[in-house]
Amino acid sequence: MHELGKIHQLIISLGSYDLTFNLETIIMTWIVCGLLITFGFLASRKKGILPGPFQVIGELFVAQFFTLTEDALDKKLARTYGPLICALFMFLVLSNWLGMLPHLEEPTKDLNTPLSLGLMGFVIAHYTGMRSKGVKAYIKEYFEPIFFMMPLNLIGELAKVVSISFRLFGNIMGGSIIILVVSYLTYSIILPPFLNAFFGLFVGAIQAFVFTMLTLVYISVQVK
């Protein structure tokens, strides 16, 4: 039970600032990145009409998410944003599944990871909005329907970042706490595998998909 809420941090003082590194999160993120790069290498090494097992999985991911992006945006924009959406989902789903392996933890359990991904989506969506509509039309949208609604519209936009990142964080964090506590209460007999299947595999995959879909929708709302 004492593992709950314990974080290994590396704090470096730079003048009057303290730089804080959450070591576990960084290492786990590197592991996810390494696994994904290896997968990408294996999937594209021997490309052929008769695909190998890795190429099949890779093509499955790319085809699925490219179609999804095309449905939400148009064909031209899908070529720009398709790779982002696909990569985002693969990163998130692997991150959420990583915690099922012993001694490894989900990088998404740390609020910093979902929050930075959410901010990334936010910046990309608003940049896309400015480019497709023009800066003037983009700013004008904040003053609709009446000009004094501007602060509330602004807060509404920021609430999107909060909601997208806290949703992922809360689910993954909650799942891992439940697994930890129930395993402790039942002395790790019978229940933990089922809990891991539900909160790790199932909820992890759903939340990764939800995060990806929402990022895509935030972009598409800005375009139209």
Q: Which residues bind another protein (CB under 8 A)?
A: 1, 4-5, 68, 71, 152, 155-156, 159, 162-163, 166-167, 170-171, 173-175, 177-178, 181-182, 185, 198, 202-203, 206, 209-210, 213-214, 217, 221, 224
| Residue whose CB is less far from another protein, 60 or 152 | 152
Closest to another protein by CB, 62 or 214: 214
Instruction: Write down the least CB distance from residue 67 to another protein, Å.
Output: 9
In the bound complex, what is the minimum distance in angstroms from residue 15's beta carbon to another protein?
Answer: 23
Minimum distance from CB of 72 to another protein (Å)? 8
Q: Any idea what the Cα angle at residue 153 is, between residues 152 and 156, rounded to 5°?
A: 85
- 114, 166 in Cβ contact below 8 A? yes
* DSSP 3-state percent helix, strand, coil across the chain (nearest 5): 75, 5, 15
Cα 96 to Cα 201: distance, rounded to the nearest angstrom = 8
Whichever of 53 and 145 has its CB closer to another protein, that residue is 145
CB of 46 to another protein, least distance (A): 31
Give Cα 223 distance to the centre of its chain: 21
Closest to another protein by CB, 39 or 166: 166
Of 69, 70, 48, nearest to 59 (Cα)? 48
Q: For residue 29, which amino acid is it?
A: T
Q: 23 vs 206, which CB is nearer to another protein?
A: 206
Q: How far is the CB of 137 from another protein (least distance, A)?
A: 17
Cβ–Cβ < 8 Å for 176, 199: yes
Q: β-strands 17-22, 9-14: how paired?
A: antiparallel
In which residue are the tokens 């008769």 written?
Answer: 50
